[in-house]
Structure 1
Amino acid sequence: MPSQETVRKFVDVVVSGRHDEAIELFYAEDASMQENLGELRRGRDGLVERERQVMGMFKEIRTTCVEPFFIEGDRVAINWIFEFVQADGKTSKINEVAIQEWRGDKIVRERFYYDPGQMAA
């Protein structure tokens, strides 16, 4: 079960824009990630590489954690708002909820829930 302090440190790293570093620091080696009903991605190293690819597609990604986040045993729920700034300055926004399963102080499973229509708006 993660402590409030550990989850706070995770949130702080993500909000600072270091999404790839957050995966390196807080995800188990065998972690998995899934967006809505999309493909299940496995393995921390691959998750880090994919995150770096996504980050490279944008001039900036602004991240907000909608407080509070919730911890119940090994489960954590976080409401994120991501603003993706393209090279031309156009911005798109996604409001999503991440449900995480932790093993000690590492995330082993994470699933994101959001309306994909937000990307087109």
Structure 2
Amino acid sequence: MNQTNISTSVEELVSLALEGKWEIAFEKFYHPDLEKTDLDGIPVLGIQKNIENGRLFSSRISNVRDFSCTGIIVKENRSFIVWAFDFDVDGNPFKVTEVAIQDWENGKIVRERFFA
């Protein structure tokens, strides 16, 4: 997969996420053996475990004030997505700008790490 194809995939992934269709994005763009590390620094292995974690986290969100993508960079087989979040989690404010760094192989994200 070349850089242009990855750019197109990232744009679609972002669009799906912003529409609330993040599970479709996972199924389409993430490798079954995904290694994903969120802001807590703990790697989670496998797409199914990451989908379960995503469902749990999403169920705890309310009062969405901002959920947006503020930038995308693709360089070779790596993409960077800048996300802005401002919502409540379990009734507590959660406001952060974070960068997702994604490594792509054969059209799928094999590793994703988040930094704020």
Spell out structure 1 runs of 4+ moving beyond 3 A: 85-88
**26, 38, 41: which one aligns with 2:41:** 38
Measure how far apart 1:26 and its partner are. 1.3
Residue matched to 2:86: 83
Cα 1:9–1:70 change in 2 (3 A) is same
Find out whether 1:9 has 2:12 as its counterpart: yes
> Scaled by the length of structure 2, what TM-score is found?
0.83
Using the alignment, how far apart are the partners of 1:83 and 1:72 within structure 2? Answer: 28
Residue identity matched to 1:64: S
Per the alignment, residue 93 of structure 1 pairs with 95
**What residue in structure 2 maps to residue 105 of structure 1?**
107
**1:36: Cα distance to partner?**
4.3
Identity of matched residues, %: 29
Q: Which one has the bigger strand percentage? A: 2
For structure 2, the residue ranges without an aligned partner over 5 or more in a row are none
Q: Which runs of 5+ in 1 are unaligned?
A: 115-121
What amino acid does structure 2 have at the position aligned with 1:66? T
Structure 2 distance, partners of 1:17, 1:113, is: 22
Residue 61 of structure 2 aligns to a residue whose secondary structure is coil
Q: How many residues align?
A: 112
